[in-house]
Structure 1
């Protein structure tokens, strides 16, 4: 593991930034995340990612409120953190802490050992998503490219 501090723009790639994804349910969103990660890196198991995300959701929803969810899990054999950013066409039920449906999702898949990086990234995401105007800018994006640029532009 390198000790360079991870930031959102280190882990997010344009290929895993998706705008206005159609999704009918929380389960479907998690399946889609797993599919996208597998397509991006086919050495990673779609099934394992999905199962780990589901297992994490069973511990408590990763819907953090105000229409935002940060599903995350650890993955055996993963060597670097993988992030997936998506806006959804329509808000979906996500069992969020404020019971609001979710339309902004940032998934984080981290190596099994990477505890401190994992927590650091979660806190960076929570901080960013705490700014309503920033979230509105993300929701207003109509292309994945713009979404990626907005998400990575404001990273310090």
Structure 2
């Protein structure tokens, strides 16, 4: 495998894997993602991430159905792809394609110029989340460590 190939393993950090996040709405979930990224990457702007995620949602919801959302955006000046995985304490309305509320979220923030990587990662994620047993395993995780292990164990 060439080292330019991005996988979920190398974009998701344990500290950006969060279990049972209390988010009361889609907006709050996206704000939380931006806050978490800002906490671990001081060079990025929380507002910029949030605004870019919201702008992307306006084009069409990133709720892909079955309680899953993959919010994503590009960010000017970002040096690497950042992934955030979280399960929500309670499912929130996300305007998903099947109108089901969302409780499993994988956010992707990519450098502005990383178009092909962006699409490749989105398809990897969509493929994984398409597997119901995999999603059930993620939902059953009681803490962030277990969630991180479940997410990364399955990829490759």
Q: TM-score range by the shorter chain?
A: over 0.9
Structure 1: state its 5+ residue gaps: none
Shift of 1:86: 0.1
Q: Indicate the SS of the match to 1:110.
A: strand
Give the Cα–Cα distance (whole angstroms) in 1 for the partners of residues 71 and 57 of structure 2.
Answer: 7
Shift of 1:17: 0.1
Question: Which deviations, in whole Å up to 9, do the C-alpha atoms of 1:35-60 show, x marking residues without a partner?
Answer: 00000111110000000000000000
Counterpart residue number, 1:152: 152
For the pair 1:141 / 2:141, whether they are aligned, the reply is yes
Counterpart residue number, 1:107: 107
Give the Cα–Cα distance (whole angstroms) in 2 for the partners of residues 89 and 73 of structure 1.
Answer: 24
Q: TM-score if structure 2 supplies the norm length?
A: 0.98
Counterpart residue number, 2:65: 65
Shift of 1:3: 5.8
Give the Cα–Cα distance (whole angstroms) in 1 for the partners of residues 43 and 101 of structure 2.
Answer: 33
Moved over 4 A (4+): none
Counterpart residue number, 2:122: 122
Shift of 1:4: 1.5
Q: TM-score if structure 1 supplies the norm length?
A: 0.98
Give the Cα–Cα distance (whole angstroms) in 2 for the partners of residues 4 and 95 of structure 1.
Answer: 34
Q: Indicate the SS of the match to 1:80.
A: coil
Give the Cα–Cα distance (whole angstroms) in 2 for the partners of residues 10 and 43 of structure 1.
Answer: 20
Shift of 1:151: 0.2
Give the paired residue count. 155
Structure 2: state its 5+ residue gaps: none
